[in-house]
Structure 1
Amino acid sequence: MTGFDRTHTVNASFATNPNPPRNGARDLGQTALEWKQRLKIILCIVNGLAFIHSQNQPKNQIKDHKDIYLNVHGNVKASNIMINIDFTACLSDYGFAQLAERTEFSDTWQKKPLPYEYAYSHELLSQKSDVYNFGIILLDILGRQGMKKEEVENGEFEFIVQGKERKQAFNVLNIALSCTNSDQEARPTMKEIVIYLGDVLRVRN
C-alpha cells in the first residue's frame, strides 16, 4: 500500500512476489533470503501497519459504509503482503476486506490460529487483531509457515543465523510472542513495535 483516498480507493504499487519468505524456503525449492532481506521486509510491514493504525477515524462516517475503520487493516495475512524485487514489502487488501460481509472472512483463518478474542466474540476488525496476525507473519518469516507459538515456547525452533544476526532474530522472536499473547491488552501497539525494532537494529555482537 502506498496511499489511500478516504472516500474511494486504495493506491498500491505493483509487486512481483506475493508471499513473505520463510526460513524453510529451501524445503520448497526456493532460495532462502539473507537475514537483512528478511528484516527489511519486516520493517516495511511494521511501518505500513503503524501508518494505518495512526489514521484518525472521521467524525462523519462514509454513507452506506458505517463499519469502515480507517485505522484498522482487518485482514493481515501472508497472501496480502507483496514483495518487490528490492525486498520492500507492500500491504494489500486494506479497506477492501471491510466491505465484505463478516461471513466471508472464513478463508482468512483456515491456515493460521485465530486471535483469542475472535474465537469468543467473533470480533475481527481491531488493531489488536492486526497485531496478533502480524505476530503470526513474524513466526512464518523466522521459522516455517504454520509455526505455532507452543512450538516456539517448547524450544522447537531453530535459527539459521549466527552472531549479531542471531541476537536480532531472537529479539524479533520475542516481539512475535508478545504480539500473539492471548490477552489482547498485553499485546504491543504498532507504534511500540516500531520502537522495539529500532532497538533490534542497534544490537551489537
Structure 2
Amino acid sequence: MSGITDRPAPGGARVNGVELRELHSIEELEEVFRLFDDIWHPDPGSAPITVELMRALSHAGNYVAGAYEGGRLVGASVGFLAAPAGRVLHSHVTGAAVGRGIGFALKLHQRAWALERGLERITWTYDPLVRRNAHFNLVKLGARPEEYLPSFYGVMADAINTGDESDRMLAVWRLTEPRVLAAARGEPHRPQIPPDA
C-alpha cells in the first residue's frame, strides 16, 4: 500500500516498510503509553492519554493504531468519533519517530480506516507556532486550518509544552477533497500566494 487510497484499510497495512494495525490488547496499549512518555516526558499524572482510556476507546470501536518497524513500535495514534455523528473522527494524539515518514504512514492508515466507516473528515489540533507541524498538516496532508483555539488545553506539564501557551489551530482534513487526494499521491498542496502580497 503506497499513497492514500480510497480502499478500506486492511487489518495490517504496510506503508513505506512500516506495518500499521489497530491495537486492542493491554500489552499493546502499554507500549503506546511508553512511546508517548518517551516523546513528551510528561509530569506524573499529565500523560496525553492513559492505557485505560485507550482500552475503552478501542473497545468502543474508535481508532487506536500503531506503526511497527522491524517489530518495534515507532508511532501510534488515538482518535475518537466526533460530532456530527457518523461523519467525523477526531484524532486526539499522534506520536512518531521524526523524519522517517512514520507520521505520514499513520495518517494514511487513519484516513483509510475513516473512509471504510463512511466518515467524511478527520480533525485534530496542532500548535500553529511549530513550523514543521503546520507544514505537515497543511502542505503534506492538504488539511485546512479552520479555527484558532486560545489556551485550548490550559496549562500543560510536559517537556515539549511547559512554559508555552497551549493555543491550538483546528485542522480539518476533508478526506475526498481534491487537494487531499493530490497530497496523497505525493503532490503536496502549495498554497497560491497573490503576486502583490
Same fold (TM over 0.5): no
- The structure whose residues are more often helix, as a share, is 1
Higher normalized strand content (fraction of residues):
2
| Structure-1-length-normalised TM-score | 0.30
